[in-house]
A and B are shown apart, each in its own frame.
Chain A
C-alpha cells in the first residue's frame, strides 16, 4: 500500500464516519440507569468536600426526595424521620419533640439540622424542635448522614446530620402555594400553609418562601402527668406547636446571600416555650482558576432560643438572646480528576445576653465564647477504593479544644459497594452548657465511631444494603433539673461514657410505576454506660424511651398518570418509660408495648389543571397512638401519642416561562 493510497483511505474514512466519532464521546460507561439508579447516582456533597454518588460518599446516607415526601403524605419531619433507619422521636421537656438516633438521645447538639445551609440548632442548648416545625411540603430533598459529621460540620454533628434543601432554593422556577390540614376525631391537629416563589437563571437566581402553621402536640382529652403538678388536661386545648419561617435567597454569579427568620412556639399544659431565630449568610465563590475555588463567607445569627416560663400567669423564667458572628475562608483544590483537597479556617464568637437581667449566665447577664477552627479533607479516588482523609481542630476559650480525624474507604465495584468509616466526633458545649455547668467546668463530648456498609444491587431496580455501627461517647454532657417554679434549678455535667452499637438493613426497589423501601434498624446500649438518666432497671441493653428494633416500610403505587396510592408503616419494639410512682413517690419505669403506625395516603396530581395536586389520607390507621416517652429521667411522663389523623393536602404550582 503506497502512501497516497493510505492517505486516501484515511480521508475517506474520516468523511464517511465522522458522525460516528461525535456519537462516541457521548457513550455512557455504564448500562442505562433505572429509576433507582438515577436516585442513587445523584451526586451529594453532604458527607464529603466533593460531590459523590450515594453509594460512594463517605457516610452512611439516606436521601429522601420531594416525590417520596409528597407521596407519603408526611405531616411533618416526625413522619419523614420515622421512616429513616435509626431515627426515633422522643420528648425533651415541656412537650418538645426531639431527635433520637441509633438508640441514643441526640437532641442537644448531637444531630445537626441544616435548612438551605442554615444551622437550625439553637445556640443556647443546641436543640432542634422537630414536631410540626419544618415546612415538609416545601422540601426538595433531605440528605441525612446517619453517622458522625463533626469533621465537616463541627461540634453540633456528633451523631448525625440532616440537610434539608427547599424546593425554592434549588429547583422551583415559578410560584407554588400549599396547605395541609389534619383532623383528629376530637380536634384539629394542624393547619399549615406556605407560599414560595423562585427563579433560577445562570446569572441571577432568587427565591422567597413563607410558611406558617398552627398545630397541637397531642389530642389526648384527659391527660394527667404524675410528675407535674397540674390537673387532668385536654391536650388539644392546652398544647400548641406553631411554626413560622421566612426564607430568602439571592445568587448573582459567585455571590450568594441567604437570610431566614424562623419562629416556633410550643406549649405544654403548664409552660410555654418560644424560639425565634434570625440568620443571614453571605458568601462568594471565587474561582481563582479551573482547579482552585476560594470561598470566603460571613454568617450572623440573632436568636431568642427556648424562651420559656409559666403560661398562667404569663411569666418568663428564661429569656436570653444568643448571637453568633461567624467568618470563614474555605478553599477547594482539584489537583487532578482524582484528587481533591478542601481546607479552611473559621472564627466565630457566641454571645448570650440575659434579657430578664437575672444573671442567667452563672450570675452574669452576658457570656461570650470565642472559637476558632481549622479543617482539611483530602479525597483520593482510586480504582480499588476512594479514600477520604480529614480532620477538624477546634479551640474554644472556655472549654478547650477538640481534634477529630476522619478516615473513609468507599467504592462501588459493578453491583457491589462497600464503605469502611472511622471518625472521631465531638459535641461542643453550648452557651448554657457552660454557664450552667454543675462543677463550674464542662468538657466537650467526644465520640469514637466505627461504621461499615456493604451493598449489593441485585437488579437495576433493587438494592440491598447493610451497615453496622459502634458509637462510644466519653464526657457525655447531660442535662439535670430539680424543683419547680421559684425553686426550679437546671444544670449540666459530664458523665463518663455512653453510646450504642447496632445495624441497619435497607432494601429498596423502584420500578417506573411503584417503589418500596423496607428497612430494619437494631441498636443496643453499649456495656459500661454510666449515664443513669438513660438507664431503666428492666434492662441494660436499651436506653429509656428507645425501641431496640424498628421496621419501616414506605411504598407508592401509581394507578394511572394522576392517581397514586401510598401505604407506609413503622413498627417499634417495646420501650420503657417513666409512667408510675413507687411506694416512696419516686418515678418508676415501666414497659411500653411495641407499636405499629400504619398510614395510607392517596395523591391525585394535575386535578382539572396542570400543577394542581390534592392528597387525602390517614396517619395511624389502627389508632394505636403510641406514647412519646421522655428520653431521660427528667420528671415528665410520656406524652400521649396523637390518635388517627385525617390529612388533606393541596398544592398549586405555576411555572415561569423559560
Chain B
C-alpha cells in the first residue's frame, strides 16, 4: 500500500513538473518588439486594420493577441492571425516567421515580393537572407538586425530612432 502511495506521489510530482514552465524564451519580449516595429514604421497605404500574420504555431501568436488587444496603431486596430502558409499572407502589414518556420523564408519572400509587407523572423541572421528584421540574443538581451535596403524596396519607412537601436543595419 505504501509503495502505491509512493508511486502515485512520484507520478503526481512528475506531472506537476511537466506542467510548470522553466526559464524559456521570453515570447512577450518578441511580441513587444513587433508591436514597436509597427509603431515606428509607416506603410504607404493604410487599411482598416493593421494586420500581423504569424506563420505556423508559435507562442508568440498568443503574446501578440494579448499585447495588441483593444489597441491600435495610427488609428488602425490590430488584427493578429495565424496562417499555415505564405499563400495566406494576403494584405498583412507584418508577417512573423517563428524559428521553427525559418525554412519558409524564401517562400514568404517570393510571395511578398514588391509588396509593402514587413518580414520579421525569430531566427538570427535571416535579415541577411531577405527578411526585414531578424532577432538575435546578446548577453541574454533581445536585439534585432534590420535590412533597411529591403524595407526601402518595399516602400516601408522606419524611424531613425528604431534603426539606431538595431544591432546592425544593412
Contact = CB atoms under 8 A, between A and B. Distances in A.
B20 A458 contact: yes
A14 B40 CA distance: 7
Contact of A460 (B21, B42, B137, B141): B21
B87 interface: no
A24 B20 CA distance: 27
B48 interface: no
B32 interface: yes
A559 interface: no
B119 to A, nearest CB: 19
B140 A21 contact: no
B143 interface: yes
Contacts of A10: 40, 42, 157, 159
A27 B161 contact: no
A563 B157 CA distance: 60
Size bracket, chain B contacts? 20 to 34
A82 to B, nearest CB: 27
Contacts of A31: 21, 23-26
B46 A1 contact: yes
Given A24-B165, A27-B32, A29-B26, A459 B21 contact: yes
Interface residues of A, number: 32
Question: For the complex, would chain A's binding face be called helix, strand, loop or mixed by DSSP majority?
Answer: mixed
Contacts, number: 97
A415 interface: yes
B62 to A, nearest CB: 14
A29 B24 contact: no
Interface stretch (A32-40, A119-127, A148-156, A539-547): A32-40
A2 to B, nearest CB: 11
Contacts of B25: 29-31, 414
B22 interface: yes
A24 B31 CA distance: 11
B123 interface: yes
A34 to B, nearest CB: 7
A10 B32 CA distance: 19
B102 to A, nearest CB: 9
Contacts of B23: 30-34, 37, 457, 460
A288 interface: no
B124 A462 contact: no
B17 A459 contact: yes
A458 B23 CA distance: 9
Given A9-B42, A10-B159, A21-B161, A30 B26 contact: yes
B26 A28 contact: yes
Interface in B118-148: 123-124, 135, 137-138, 140-143
Interface string A7-46: 0011001100110110011111111111001000100000
Contacts of A6: 42, 157
A337 interface: yes
A21 B42 contact: no
Given A27-B33, A29-B137, A337-B138, A415 B40 contact: no
Interface string A241-282: 000000000000000000000000000000000000000000
Given A9-B42, A17-B39, A29-B141, A458 B161 contact: no
Nearest to A416: B22
A24 B36 contact: yes
B124 A383 contact: yes
B162 A21 contact: yes
Contact of B140 (A13, A29, A383): A29
Contacts of B137: 29
A27 B26 contact: yes
Contacts of B165: 21, 24-25
A598 to B, nearest CB: 22
Interface in B76-102: none
A460 B22 contact: yes
A458 B42 contact: no
A6 B116 CA distance: 15
Contacts of A29: 25-26, 29, 135, 137, 140-142
Nearest to A18: B161
Contacts of A337: 138
A21 B44 CA distance: 23
A19 to B, nearest CB: 11
B74 interface: yes
A267 B26 CA distance: 58
11 contacts: A1-B42, A1-B45, A10-B42, A21-B165, A24-B33, A29-B25, A29-B29, A414-B22, A415-B24, A459-B22, A460-B22
Given A14-B159, A31-B26, A457-B22, 4 more contacts: A29-B25, A337-B138, A383-B124, A414-B24
Q: Report, nearest first, the 8 A-B pairs whose CB atoms are least far apart.
A: A458-B17, A457-B22, A459-B20, A27-B29, A29-B142, A29-B137, A415-B22, A37-B23
